[in-house]
Amino acid sequence: MGMNLSQVQALKLKLTPAVYQAISLLQYNTQDLTKLIHEQAEINPFLSIHDWSGSSSMYGVGSHGMNNSTSTTDVIEQTIANGSGFREELRSQIQVMSLSPEVQKTCFLIIDSLNDNGYFEEDMLTLSHALRVPIKQLENALSIVRTLDPPGIGAKSLKDCLSLQLKRQTNHSTFAMDIVTHYIDCFITGEWVRAKEALDMSDEELHDALQDIRALNPTPIVSGLETRDAKRYIIPDIYITKEGHELKINDEMGQIPNVSIDSNYVDELKGHTDPETNHYLKEKLKEAEWLLMGITKRKQTLIKLTELCVNYQRAFFESGKWESIQPLTMKKIAEQLEVHESTISRAVSNKYIQAPFGIVSYRSLFSKGLSSSDGEVSVFYIKSLIQKIITNEDKSKPLSDRKIVEALNDKGITLSRRVVSKYRTECGYLAASKRKIVKKKQD
């Protein structure tokens, strides 16, 4: 058989280092970005960090649009029980694996796409278009991420999460995987007789299987990586102050090191004649430029995003009352900024705003809308109504969830009893039977 030489034209999507840098930095909060800048400055001779004591940029959101002024604010820290450094630990696990640079970068993108519980909820096709990475490449990276610790990382659903954990175990009940795969709904319905008969289990075998399943973790991050960093501090990425009738947005760049390219090293680059040294310095200069571009892009995106959120949630930022939150989706903001929805999701991840009344997470500004006789209302508004209904009830005859449904119906809001029960629980109220206060009889 002879050999033929032929040309093949193919279209390939490739993520450039600059684009990858910008996407990655968008995910970083102030703490993580500060740490990254210091780390890069230690290994890149072109990066120079300066003391930053200047005033921060201020963006006013008044009744007639935006204006600029300057001001400074103090660093506000708030201790929280749940950290956000699990992505960094996952990246460190990837770095010690024998992977090509391209595969490693794609794994980092998958890690950045995980939600705060370690689940992967992105649509692959949508993510592929947004990142310009082939679906097969993303799927391969996801399969690698799913092998990391703690078990369950990268799961697409609760069933998937529990299955991943069981696959790592060698001593679990032989029926545990069958129950998770085919009868996980029984944990909600309680129809264990159906599962028992279908799998031909004895009472003891069912008991052992359920014991193994209940020992699994539906949110591996909570008891896995996050517990290693039990105390974290929130440093807000954006500060909002109220001056008269105007809300001012402060990007607080004073909290992020002022980094620039050292001109002395740039001049030195021009004087080198050794090809190997020249190549090294040129690569480092490119990396420094990409980092600065990524920081600038992150700042611009965060400011534009905040301006829109403040405009939509003005009543909330002025009053500090959660019931003032208006229905708002990331898709709506993405359309106005002409970016993909996943970009907004990355931009708000693990980031906080210092509002005039306290610290607020970006994600809490987004709330789905529910229909009412007066139009769409947010979940926060409905919860506030439930709180008022329960607060004003007769404590000796507390209202059942069905009665709360009827009370909401009178206000033009139609919800199922199950949804009301869910919101009541999230508000911290027990069921009616456990809220009842029996009055003592007087002699």
Average pLDDT over residues 84-104: 77
Do 308 and 406 lie in one domain? The reply is: no
Between 15 and 48, whose confidence is greater?
48
Three-state SS annotation for 106-158: HHHHHHHHCCCCCCCCCCHHHHHHHHCCCHHHHHHHHHHHCCCCCCCCCCCCH
Banded pLDDT at 336 (limits 50, 70, 90): very high
pTM: 0.55
Name the residue among 308, 353, 310 with its Cα closest to residue 334: 308
Residues 234, 77: contact at Cβ < 8 Å? yes
Do 167 and 146 lie in one domain? The reply is: no
Strands 238-243, 352-355: pairing is: parallel
3-state class of 103 per DSSP?
helix
Do 239 and 348 lie in one domain? The reply is: yes
Q: Find the CATH number of the domain harbouring 120.
A: 1.10.10.1330
pLDDT over 60 (residue 1): no
Domain-ending residue, one of 172, 194, 221: 221
pLDDT over 80 (residue 222): no
Which residues 6+ apart lie within 8 Å of 374 measured at CB? 412
Domain-ending residue, one of 153, 170, 190: 153
Count: domains in the chain: 4
In the block, residue with structure tokens 């001056």: 243
Around Cβ 249, how many Cβ atoms within 10 Å?
22
Start-to-end CA span in the chain (Å): 110
Do 246 and 354 lie in one domain? The reply is: yes
Domain ranges, residue 323: 28-80+234-362
pLDDT of residue 50: 74
User: What distance in Å separates the CA atoms of residue 213 and residue 229, rounded to the nearest whole number?
Assistant: 26
Residue 18 in any domain: the answer is no
CA distances from 352 to 78, 186, 360, 441 (A): 11, 39, 6, 51
Residue 298 in any domain: the answer is yes
Question: Per residue in 180-211, pLDDT tens?
Answer: 778 777 766 667 777 777 888 787 877 777 77
3-state class of 369 per DSSP?
strand
Residue 14 in any domain: the answer is no
326's tokens: 């208006």
Residue 4 in any domain: the answer is no
pLDDT over 60 (residue 95): yes
Do 277 and 344 lie in one domain? The reply is: yes
* Sequence letter at residue 123: D
Do 36 and 108 lie in one domain? The reply is: no
* Sequence letter at residue 201: M
pLDDT over 70 (residue 149): yes
Do 59 and 130 lie in one domain? The reply is: no
Do 143 and 184 lie in one domain? The reply is: no
- Dihedral sign for Cα 292, 345, 217, 426, please: positive
User: What distance in Å separates the CA atoms of residue 304 and residue 289, rounded to the nearest whole number?
Assistant: 23
DSSP string, 218-235: SSHHHHTGGGGG--EEE-
Question: Per residue in 263-275, pLDDT tens?
Answer: 777 776 666 667 7
Q: State percent of the chain over pLDDT 90.
A: 4
Do 42 and 134 lie in one domain? The reply is: no
| Omega cis (within 30) before 134 | no
State the helix-helix crossing angle for 275-312 and 17-27, rounded to 10 degrees. 40
Between 15 and 109, whose confidence is greater?
109
CA distances from 225 to 86, 154, 166, 173, 222 (A): 6, 14, 19, 26, 7
Banded pLDDT at 371 (limits 50, 70, 90): confident
CA 246, 250, 256: angle at the middle one, nearest 5?
175
32's tokens: 């993580």
Do 178 and 131 lie in one domain? The reply is: no
Question: Per residue in 300-329, pLDDT tens?
Answer: 888 999 999 999 999 999 888 888 888 998
pLDDT of residue 333: 92
pLDDT over 50 (residue 80): no
24-38, 78-92, 228-242, 348-362: least confident range? 78-92
Residue 9 in any domain: the answer is no
pLDDT of residue 7: 61
Do 249 and 313 lie in one domain? The reply is: yes
Residue 17 in any domain: the answer is no
pLDDT over 70 (residue 421): yes
Task: Give the single-character DSSP code of 175.
Answer: T
Do 203 and 314 lie in one domain? The reply is: no
- Dihedral sign for Cα 201, 204, 206, 208, please: negative
Residue 8 in any domain: the answer is no
User: What distance in Å separates the CA atoms of residue 240 and residue 242, rounded to the nearest whole number?
Assistant: 7
Half-sphere CA count of 115, side-chain side, radius 13 A: 13
Domain-ending residue, one of 347, 362, 377: 362
Residue 326 in any domain: the answer is yes
DSSP string, 220-280: HHHHTGGGGG--EEE--SEEEEEETTEEEEE--GGGS-EEEE-HHHHHHHHH---HHHHHH
